[in-house]
Structure formats: structure tokens, C-alpha cells
Chain A
Amino acid sequence: MTASTRPDARSKLEGSAVFGMDLEAPRMLWAALVPSPVAHGRLKTVDLSPARALEGVVAISAVDLARLLPGSTGDPDRPIFPSGTVEYRNQPVAAVAAPTRELARQAARSVRVEVEPLPVAVDLEDVFPEWPGSDADGSPHIAAHVRAREGDIEAVFRSAEKVVRETYRTSSIHQVALEPHACLAEVVDGEWKVRTCTQTPFGTREDIASLLGVPEESVVVEGTWVGGGFGGKGAALLEPYALLLAKATGRPVKLALGYREEFLLGRTTLPSVIRMETAVTAGRIVGRRVRLLLDVGNALPGRDFATGYSIGFLLGPYRTPAFEVEGYAVRTNKPAFGPHRAPFAPQCAFVVESHLDHVAHEVGLDPEVFRRDHLWAPGDTTPFGQAVGPFGLPTAFDRARAVAAHWKQDGGAGTGTGVAVGFWSTGTGAGGEARLLLSPSGITVVQGEREIGSGSVLVGVAAVAARATGLPRDRVTVAYEDTAHAPFDSGVFGSRTTAVLGRAVEEATRTLFEEIRTRLGASGSVQLEVVGDEIVAVAGTARRPVRELLSDAERSVGGIVALGRHYGKAGTIDERKVEVGAFYPYTDFTGAAHAVQVSVDRATGNVRVLRYAAFHDVGTAVDTASAAAQVEGGVVMGLGTALTEEALWSEDGRLLNAGLLDYRIPTLGSVPPIEVTFIEGFAGAGPSGAKGLGEPPIIPVAAAVALAVRDACGAHLTELPLSSERVARALKLL
């Protein structure tokens, strides 16, 4: 395989890459979880005796925790096994380990679980048929409440020429990483060690320590290859159960979900209801009111992250002089809301773009011009008072609009085009650290993240290290160590990894070069050159092979070590606008404008995506091929959100379509050609001004498709996904 291929190509193409599902150890036992049979109820009986009667089976439930975790209360708000009430269907109430996977499943099925049913809350609008009143903050159904405002919104709405009001609904969607969650746990000499397919080794360590109530230092997380994350493999999910069974049995324990369980236990995006009101005078938006009810499932009060972060996206990247936004995170009997690639931002973009497009129709303005006129420009401040800074979205919008106009010229009957935008920010997490090891023949970046597929670690960090050190890419290796050995990093999420670890690598390189300069006894800038097989350090007139610069101690570890860290800070918002709860500032502002052409079948309502163009503000493209691959993959994932993906919940809290035939993700035949263009020159928070790119590609997709559907057939849909059935209903075919 050629040097230009990804460093992980060979192991993944030849089958040697070890994923969480592939883990195995001598004397290993298989685990299985015992699910709650109802979505809400008082736990009366968990009778493990039928399972324990099976040969070689060990079973544990809440009553065993005191024995397995002496002196620990764990996290009282998040018991590993419930002892009082169960809060969602399939919530694990016990766990078993057995010599074979089949026996473990048989044992789990044999456990007798009795639950006295309590009323089940599934649908947001059954919980709150009316907008929550002033007494809602005391309700057990509210996990978070946020409100912010600017200006005298009531007066603005009273005096406006036109007010447009709409209600939108979005669906529950699942990450659908092809690899189910899986881990292998061992407890040896008081150390809780788990190998697992995680996006966040350090975050998972912290979570495990909190759930078990043990010191963080006693937990070691070793990441495996991750068979797709998309937000679903952060924090702890299976690890505490596997570790407790390992403690109970004294043997390594493997816990791997079946794909149905992957759907049933996954923490993901849940439904929402969003009310949008926009006041317009003389063609300008003068005020907006946004209200969000977001289903957060079993999320704990005070620990919901989604609402305060998401709600900023519901104003969109648009100038809004007066506003009121209010959101409630609503608890229901489902697994907790969890991150899904740009959590809830695609849904927000769908609502904002569809609504403002509709507003323009209602006041008789060109919808694209109307949105473009209100789009943030570099130098603007957001409605929350944060400086936008360098921002390529207006440029991207103009480019996308030009493409759509071109397509429109040769678009046939039944086709339509849409242009939509979304914004995002390069995340930092807490921060990240990287260790450089300069050896006589190359440089190694030692860090704590496994590659989850996006290329952010193995390609992105490597590209930054090559650029920072001046070495060719084939002299750069990115190495992984477990949480006991690696420098800290927050995790692979939030479009942050290449940016934060890249900045850490840049800082480590500065330290390294300073050290080299000292050892060369020279001044001036340091350069590393490859001469034959060796790396030679040059500064001013001094020039020596790295080999000669090493001390004896360094020769034993392999080279010169330098540490770099980057703990980025978000900007600030005007906190005076915040009345209730917490809103979050962004690190920088990135964005994308997408153009799409669709055809709508006037007999069936079926939407076919014909062609697609994506324009992304990336600051600087760190690695063009990987960046384009992120955009292609994100757009196609977004087409699923737009058209087919919808997890359906019954009134008693069952997930009805927990499988890949009934929950439809895009397939090979449904994918349009996608043109990808990068807008550069608007510097962001990452190395050389790079901006995060893992999440932005999914954000504008559903919005762009919705606008194209309206353009094609006049159907203005206010619910996701834009299924054939919904389009057909809008066209009065059903």
C-alpha cells in the first residue's frame, strides 16, 4: 500500500485491527445484561437464583454492590443497578457472566424480574400538552430550564408589520455506528482495567470512577479501534457492569451488545417540539421568539447539557436585534439524551432555515436574499453578544447559491433546489496534551486518543506534526497509550481533536526546538532535515544529526522528549441577557452552506437527492483528502436524518424499530454525487487557523433538502424526517 494511504488502511483492510468486539483473553467469561421489562415502575423482585443455578454462571444485582464495592456509595444519582424505580425499558437491573456467550444470554433471560408499573411518560406533548407554566421548574419532568432575552420583545412583536408563527417537530435518531459497544474488563491488584471501544478514554475513566465510587487513579482505560462513534461512544456505558462482574468472578469479563441492544440502550438524539415566531418590519427581522421542548429521556436534573448548548443554534447565524429564547429539557422514560454528531444542531438548522424561508415567502421576499441579508458577517456579534470573528459563511452561502442557481437552469419538472446554512464551533473540551519523541530517524506523537475513523488523530495530528516540525509525513508516527501512560486529552468529540491536540503538538515542537537550539549552541530558527535515514538538526550555521544530540538516558528511551498542552478558552457572551439557566459561548465560529437538487415523485411523495454541493469554512484545510471524506460522510449521514431516520417509541416506552431494516440509514444506491469546496482564510481556533470539521458537514443537510422539496413541489414540511409519507400527506396524496 502506498505512502499516501491512511496509516490505518493496511490493518483495517487485512483484518488485523482489533476493535472492542474482537477483544479476547484467556479464561474470559461472557457477560449479559438483564433488562427491565417495563419503562417505568417500582422494582419488586430481581430473583437471580435461576441464573445462579446454571453451571458456571455468576449473577449480580443492586444487593451485591455493597459487597463488591466496600465503602463506596458510587454516584447516588446514577446507581449502577436500580433498587427503587426503573426509569426506562431495558434499563439493566442485573448482570450475569458465564463461560459462553449463549449461556450468558440464557442466564440473563432466566432472571425473574418483577416490576410494579407506574405511569409511563414517552411523548413530550403528553407530558406538556401546553407550554410549561411558571410552576414547571419544580416538576420531576424538567431536567433543565433556560431563558434569555434581548430587548422589549412584547413591544417589538406588537408593533411589527408582520408576525409569522410556526411549530416544528423533530425525530429521535440513532448514531448507528456499525460496531456495537463492547469491552473487556479485568480487576487485578485493586486496579480496575478495561479495554473498550471509546471516543473518550479519559472521560470514560472519570465516569467509571464516579459510577463505581473508586479513585480515578485506580481505573485504567485502554482504547481499542473504534468501529464508528458519532458521539455514541463517549462516557461509560458497559464498562461498570463488566468491571463489577470481573471483580465478582476474578476473571476477565467480556460484554458486547447485540445490535438490537445497541439501539435499545443507546443514548442519542430524542424528539423535540419547537415553536418559532418571527416579527418583520420593512423586510428586516425585528424580533424573534423561540421555544424549545427537548426530550432528554432519563437525563438527570442539572446534568442535561443539551438544552443550553442547542438553543443558541435556534437563532441561527442571523442578526436578530430583539429576541427571547426559552427551552425546557423534559424527562421521559427513555434512555438519556446523548451526543449524536453535532448534537441537535441539524435539527435546529432544519427548523431555522425552514422557518426563515417560510417567513420570506409570507412577506413576499426572495427567501435566499432574505436570509443572506441577515447572515452574520465577520465583525458582527451574535445575539448573545459574542464576537463572531473570522467567519467564512457569507462567502460559502454565495458560492452555494450560485451553484443552486446554475442547477435550476437545467432542472426538469418535479425538481427543486435548496440552499441552507449551519454554524458550529471548534470544541476544546477541557483541553489536551501531547508528548513528542524526537528520535534519530523520526518523530512520534504520543497521545491518549484512538482513531475513530474520521482521521482526526492518525491523519490530522500527524499532518500538524509534520508541518510544525518540517518533517515529511512518513517520518511522523502517532502513537497511542492507555490512560495510565498517555498525557491527558478530553476525547474525540466536538470537532476538537485535530485542533486541540494539534495546538498541543505545536507547543511541544516549540519546546523541542528551543532544546535543540540550546544543544546546538546556536541561535536562529531550527530546522529538521532528512539526510539518508537520519534526521539532522540545523540552526544558523550549526548542523548535527539528532543521534549526536542525545544523552545516554535519552538513547535508552529513544530520543528527546517534549510535552505540549493546549487548554483553549471559549469566548464570552453577554451574561446580562441570560435570565434562567446556562448558555454556552463558542470557541470560534465555523459554518457551511450546502446546495442540493432533489426530485419529488408526485405520485408517492418520494424524495430523490440528485446532486449536492457543500461549501465549508475550514480556516485552513489540514489534510484535504481527509477533510473531503469528512464532508462526504457527514452529508450522507445527514441525508438519513433528512429523509428516513426516525426511532419510533410506543406509548409504553418500547423502541419499535430497533434494527437496520426498520430504522433506515442511507445505502449505497441512495447517494448523490457530492462536490466539496473549502473556504479558507477565515482563521479559527486550531493549528494554523484550522477549524473543526467532524460535525459541521451534517448540520445544514436536512435544512437544504427541506427547502429543495418545497421548491420542487410546494410542500412546506415542519416535521423531520421528510419521509415519503409526510411529503405525500403535504401533497394531499394521502
Chain B
Amino acid sequence: MARSLPLTVNGKSCPLDDVPDSERLLDTIRWRLGLKGTKEGCRSGECGACTVLVDGVSTLSCLTLTHEVEGSALTTIEGVGEEPTGRAVQEAFARAGALQCGYCTPGFVMALAGLLRERGRAAPTEELLDDLGGNLCRCTGYLAIARAVSTLSKEGT
């Protein structure tokens, strides 16, 4: 059954109307909100390309029903640069050349921004890399991504 739900998206109140119970957060973000920086890869929780922050916690939007996040604050790749942590991640990726085709990039940025919010910059590089293991990249071989992560970790700061 469709009903309305309150939501904050990238710092702005964005109440949604007539959201079917079965709608995935990924589709809400991309097609209802028009924020296509959140990428659709596998739609089954295997690639990490659709990662967003829900109340600051990194979340696979393809496996999340929109009604599950009712009343939450959602951050997407379009808004994460407004926060110092997100901005730092974007700049670290740019400096390290940690992107090629760019399709997995928003998911990596969001997942790492979520980790850094959760753990702060005291986290060791290895722990951060372990926790990014669910994000797939086919272009870079991950090494440039690991270099970007290391500049944001306990060792790099």
C-alpha cells in the first residue's frame, strides 16, 4: 500500500508521497529524487555501487526498502562533499587517482565516508580496507583506492 513518508535528503527535508511498500531506496534516490550519482550495479547487494549513508551509516540502497528509512537523514554522493569527512574522501580519491571508469566510485566514497564517521581518523588503514571489501572495482585493481584510504587513516594523518 502506498503512503507518504518524511525524509531528509542531503540536509533538506524531502517528504515523499505515494511510495509503494516494495520500492527500493535505490530506485527512490535515482528515479524519484533524480539523484543518479548513486549507481545501480547488481541490485542484489554484491557490488557496493549503490552505497549511501542513512543517518551517517553506510547502507546498500538496493537492499533497503524506502519505508525502512522513514524519518531518516539520507546522504548521497551529491551531498557528501558538503561535510568535511566526505570532502576529504573525494579529495583523497582525486589526488591518488583512485578512479577510472567512475562507476564504483560513488559507492566507495560513501562507504569510506561512513567508516570514517563511525571510527574517526584513528582507524588503521588495514581495518578500513577490510571493511571496504564488499565494494567491487574492475578498473583500478584497488591499489590506488588503498593509497587514497591510507592518506585518510591513522597512519596517514
A390 vs B35: C-alpha distance when bound (angstroms): 50
Is A669 in contact with B130, judged by CB distance below 8 angstroms? yes
A734 interfacial by beta-carbon distance below 8 Å: no
Which residue of chain A lies nearest to B79 when distances are taken between CB atoms in the complex? Answer: A15
Smallest beta-carbon distance B148→chain A, Å: 11
Q: How large is the interface on B (under 10, 10 to 19, 20 to 34, 35 or more residues)?
A: 35 or more
B84 interfacial by beta-carbon distance below 8 Å: no
Number of contacts between A and B (CB, 8 Å)? 167
Give chain A residues whose Cβ lies under 8 Å from the Cβ of B77: 13-15
CB contact between A453 and one of B31, B38, B102, B130 (< 8 Å): that residue: B102
Instruction: Choose, from A59-67, A291-299, A625-633, A717-725, the stretch at the interface.
Output: A625-633
Give chain A residues whose Cβ lies under 8 Å from the Cβ of B46: 259, 659-661
B42 interfacial by beta-carbon distance below 8 Å: yes
A217 vs B139: C-alpha distance when bound (angstroms): 34
A674 interfacial by beta-carbon distance below 8 Å: yes
Q: How large is the interface on A (under 10, 10 to 19, 20 to 34, 35 or more residues)?
A: 35 or more
A229 vs B101: C-alpha distance when bound (angstroms): 9
Is A9 in contact with B94, judged by CB distance below 8 angstroms? yes
Smallest beta-carbon distance A650→chain B, Å: 21
CB contact between A2 and one of B40, B95, B137, B139 (< 8 Å): that residue: B95
A268 vs B90: C-alpha distance when bound (angstroms): 34
Is B138 in contact with A632, judged by CB distance below 8 angstroms? no
CB contact between A13 and one of B42, B47, B90, B103 (< 8 Å): that residue: B90
B91 interfacial by beta-carbon distance below 8 Å: yes
Bitwise, A165-179 to B at CB < 8 A (1) or not (0) is 000000000011111
Which residue of chain B lies nearest to A4 when distances are taken between CB atoms in the complex? Answer: B95
Which residue of chain B lies nearest to A10 when distances are taken between CB atoms in the complex? Answer: B94
Which residue of chain B lies nearest to A17 when distances are taken between CB atoms in the complex? Answer: B102
Smallest beta-carbon distance B30→chain A, Å: 8
Is A669 in contact with B129, judged by CB distance below 8 angstroms? yes
Is B137 in contact with A454, judged by CB distance below 8 angstroms? no
Is B137 in contact with A178, judged by CB distance below 8 angstroms? yes
Smallest beta-carbon distance B124→chain A, Å: 15
B21 interfacial by beta-carbon distance below 8 Å: no
Bitwise, B2-38 to A at CB < 8 A (1) or not (0) is 0000000000000000000000000000110011111
CB contact between B146 and one of A178, A453, A626, A668 (< 8 Å): that residue: A668
Smallest beta-carbon distance B21→chain A, Å: 13
CB-CB contacts below 8 Å: A655-707 with B: 659-661, 665-669, 671, 673-674
CB-CB contacts below 8 Å: A305-359 with B: none
Is B144 in contact with A629, judged by CB distance below 8 angstroms? yes
Give chain A residues whose Cβ lies under 8 Å from the Cβ of B139: 228, 453-454, 633
Instruction: Choose, from A18-26, A68-76, A574-582, the stretch at the interface.
Output: A18-26
Is A629 in contact with B140, judged by CB distance below 8 angstroms? yes
Smallest beta-carbon distance B70→chain A, Å: 21
Is B140 in contact with A228, judged by CB distance below 8 angstroms? no
Evaluate whether A14 and B36 lie within 8 angstroms (CB atoms) in the complex, with A2-B95, A179-B41, A674-B143 already known.
no
Evaluate whether A227 and B94 lie within 8 angstroms (CB atoms) in the complex, with A632-B140, A660-B46, A668-B135 already known.
no
Evaluate whether A15 and B103 lie within 8 angstroms (CB atoms) in the complex, with A177-B138, A633-B140 already known.
no
A21 vs B30: C-alpha distance when bound (angstroms): 10
Evaluate whether A1 and B94 lie within 8 angstroms (CB atoms) in the complex, with A178-B47, A637-B138, A660-B46 already known.
yes
Q: Give me the interface of B with A, judged by CB distance under 8 Å.
A: 30-31, 34-44, 46-47, 49, 76-78, 81, 90-91, 93-95, 97, 99-106, 109, 129-130, 132-133, 135-146
Besides A18-B36, A178-B101, 13 more A-B contacts (Cβ < 8 Å) are: A13-B81, A13-B90, A14-B77, A15-B78, A16-B78, A19-B39, A22-B30, A632-B143, A660-B46, A665-B136, A666-B141, A669-B129, A671-B146
List 6 A-B pairs, Cβ < 8 Å.
A2-B94, A9-B94, A178-B47, A179-B41, A626-B97, A668-B135
Q: Give me the interface of A with B, judged by CB distance under 8 Å.
A: 1-2, 4-6, 8-19, 21-22, 24, 175-180, 225-230, 256, 258-259, 452-455, 625-626, 629, 632-637, 659-661, 665-669, 671, 673-674
Query: Top 4 closest A-B pairs, CB basis?
Result: A15-B37, A453-B101, A12-B102, A636-B141
